[in-house]
Amino acid sequence: MKHNFSAGPCILPQEVLTGAADAVREFAGMGLSLLEISHRDKNFVSVMDEAMALSLELMGLGDDYAALFLQGGASLQFAMVPFNLMKADGGHAAYLETGTWATNARKEAQGFGKVTVVGNSQDRNFSYIPKGYAIPEDAQYFHTTSNNTIYGTQMQEIPHFAHGWNVCDMSSDIFSRPRPFHQFDLIYAGAQKNMGPAGATLVVVKKDILGQSGRWIPTMLDYATHIKGESMFNTPPVFSVYTSLLTLRWLKANGGVAWAHQRNSEKAALLYGEIDRNPLFHGTTAAEDRSHMNACFLLHDEAAHQARFDALWKEAGVVGINGHRSVGGYRASMYNALPLESVQVLVDCMRELERTA
Ligand SMILES: *Cc1c(COP(=O)(O)O)cnc(C)c1O
């Protein structure tokens, strides 16, 4: 048995993997694989419709929003957002720079107009979330990253920008906790962090914000195209959408984002508790900004303890906890599907290291 702490692509519930494998063999009693039928077949159209509807339902959003399953990853959203939302004349957007992904988003926006970086935590290697900044009132939108996958910080509260639209990259904590989703005008998330396999990107957009930029937008990059086409303007990534739907059903059956939040909080409390208690380890981020999804931590003395610790957790079946190269050490990602028992196994390895050091 493996304990999968990978930062992405992520662990998925076992029943979701089984359901996805079944559909690859035979889908909906059709005598054919999900991968070899027309996406216009009613059996797949109903998958897409349910995936879009369930995404909105789990966020508590109504039909003034559209949920879309698009391609190109969260990285394409870095460009689609300013392309659709920044004014051709007098384009201005505000970005909060809390990590590499936020930086990548900000760089793309600069190709479309003026960008104000309202806060930036690079001075301390993105180990905290800047606070107490002002957002320029003439910005068309304010862009945030709710969870910084690489550095292990998470915005507990996301300040609301009252003078324009609120846009958030929720790739690595979507559906992991309740948020005031109705206060956002556009939310996007690559499926592969907390929902399904790579290949689909969820975009949730408030419909009335579109069509105001005064720009010509290429057909495939225009959200309006995909709203009109109900996420089927062109051939959708059927496997990723279907598997994501199975995860969304699993989440709903268990109690939705409130249930996920409860469970994720318990996992985070267990691991951070040990990081703080164990004299051999220390965390890398400001305590109040710690991510419930990705916990980054270091050994105080790598020369003395790293080899033994690595052997311990490998022996226990733990995988995917090597830190990202920009932080080093360890990163344990605790996405929705990771059970509390897996965190306990990792914590036991940390205790065993201390006991035998
Ligand atoms: C992984 C990640 C991305 C990039 O996602 P892709 O789908 O690979 O383009 C963007 N933002 C955040 C917060 C991420 O964790």
The 10s digit of each residue's pLDDT in 29-72 is 999 999 999 999 999 999 999 999 999 999 999 999 999 999 99
Determine which helix (DSSP H) or strand (DSSP E) holds 106, and give its type and residue range.
helix 100-109
Active site residues: 101, 169, 193
> Ligand 1 atom 13: the closest Cα is on which residue?
171
Cβ–Cβ < 8 Å for 193, 29: no
pLDDT number for residue 54: 98
What is the C-alpha R_g of the chain?
21
Burial (Cβ within 10 Å: 0-12, 13-18, ≥19) of residue 43:
middle
Ligand 1 centroid to 73 CA: how many Å?
Answer: 7
Nearest CA among 86, 41, 48, 74 for reference residue 229:
48
* Residue 144: strand, helix, or coil: strand
The 10s digit of each residue's pLDDT in 316-330 is 999 999 999 998 999
Determine the average pLDDT of the residues in 275-302.
98
pLDDT number for residue 1: 87
Pocket test for ligand 1, best of 10, 96, 100, 101 (most atoms within 8 A of CB): 101
List of E strands, the chain: 3-4, 65-70, 92-97, 114-120, 141-145, 147-148, 153-154, 165-169, 186-190, 201-206, 281-283, 294-299, 318-319, 330-333
Q: Is the pLDDT of residue 22 over 90?
A: yes
The 10s digit of each residue's pLDDT in 185-221 is 999 999 999 999 999 999 999 999 999 999 999 999 9
The set of residues, in sequence order, having a beta carbon less than 8 Å from that of 256 and lying 6+ positions away, is: 58
The 10s digit of each residue's pLDDT in 258-288 is 999 999 999 999 999 999 999 999 999 999 9
The set of residues, in sequence order, having a beta carbon less than 8 Å from that of 331 and lying 6+ positions away, is: 5, 7, 150, 152, 294, 295, 296, 297, 321, 322, 323, 324
Task: Work out whether strand 3-4 and strand 186-190 pair parallel, antiparallel, or are unpaired.
Answer: unpaired
- If pLDDT is split at 50, 70 and 90, which confidence band does 23 have? very high
List domains and CATH numbers for the chain: 3-9+256-356 (3.90.1150.10), 14-254 (3.40.640.10)
> Ligand 1 atom 7: the closest Cα is on which residue?
73
Partners of 4 in the beta sheet?
A: 319
| Mean pLDDT score of the chain | 98
Torsion sign over Cα 335, 340, 341, 342: positive
pLDDT number for residue 179: 98
The 10s digit of each residue's pLDDT in 234-248 is 999 999 999 999 999
Cβ–Cβ < 8 Å for 95, 105: yes
Question: For ligand 1, which residues put their CB under 6 angstroms from it?
Answer: 8, 73-75, 101, 145, 149, 169, 171-172, 190, 193
pLDDT number for residue 26: 98
Q: How long is the chain?
A: 357
Q: Is the pTM of this model over 0.95?
A: yes
Q: Is the pLDDT of residue 353 over 90?
A: yes
Q: In the sheet where 281-283 sits, what is the strand order?
A: 281-283, 294-299, 330-333
Cβ–Cβ < 8 Å for 125, 151: yes
pLDDT number for residue 31: 98
Tell me the C-alpha distance between 101 and 145, whole Å.
8
The 10s digit of each residue's pLDDT in 108-142 is 999 999 999 999 999 999 999 999 999 999 999 99
Taking the CA atoms of residue 64, residue 68, residue 74 and residue 79 in that order, the dihedral angle to the nearest 10 degrees is -70
